[in-house]
Amino acid sequence: MKRAVLGLLMYTLILMLISGCSEQAVDGDILKGLEASLETQGISMQQEGRQSSDALEKVYPYKFTIQADPKSEDYILVYLFDGNNQVEQAIKNQHYTITSLTKFANITNANVLVVYFAPSGDLDKYQKKIEDAVNQL
């Protein structure tokens, strides 16, 4: 009986470990795909890693700054949620501390939410290219 319980615990632990690793791999694949798609459109990105702020629905985003224009301060936050319902709820509850000039746009595809910030107020500069990249995920 003890062996059966111990075996079940070991099996559960291994499944949890594999599940966590595969989730990180999927997240990495999505981020790499987004970055590659933007680069083919002439937008080079610098990943700044996962942010400890700006959480939506307890999900912390990955931040990328746009390097296509040295004067640009534009950036995106990429949220990877467990499902579409969580994306919808995040959009309803989102709020950011930004300047009055800064504009942002939400771009979604399945469980991915990309928030594009344009501190200059010019969303037209990269929004279409970002939408195209997100739609390819």
pLDDT in tens for each of the 137 residues of the chain? 656 545 555 555 454 545 444 445 557 889 999 999 999 988 888 999 999 889 999 999 999 999 877 777 899 999 999 998 999 999 999 988 888 889 999 999 999 999 999 998 999 999 999 999 999 98
- What residue ranges in the chain does DSSP mark as E strands? 45-50, 62-66, 75-80, 103-109, 112-118
Rg (CA), the chain: 18
Please give the model's pTM, rounded to 2 decimal places. Answer: 0.79
**Residue 71 has what pLDDT?**
76
**Residue 112 has what pLDDT?**
96
How far is 105 from 118, CA to CA, in rounded Å? Answer: 9
How far is 135 from 103, CA to CA, in rounded Å? Answer: 21
**116, 105 contact by CB (below 8 A):** yes
The residues near 113 (Cβ < 8 Å, ≥ 6 apart) are 56, 78, 79, 81, 87, 90, 91, 106, 107
The residues near 20 (Cβ < 8 Å, ≥ 6 apart) are none
**Residue 4 has what pLDDT?**
54
How far is 117 from 106, CA to CA, in rounded Å? Answer: 9
**111, 87 contact by CB (below 8 A):** yes
| Three-class DSSP category at 137 | coil
> What is the CATH class of 25-135?
alpha beta
How far is 98 from 77, CA to CA, in rounded Å? Answer: 14
Domain locations along the chain: 25-135
How far is 74 from 77, CA to CA, in rounded Å? Answer: 10
**Residue 1 has what pLDDT?**
60
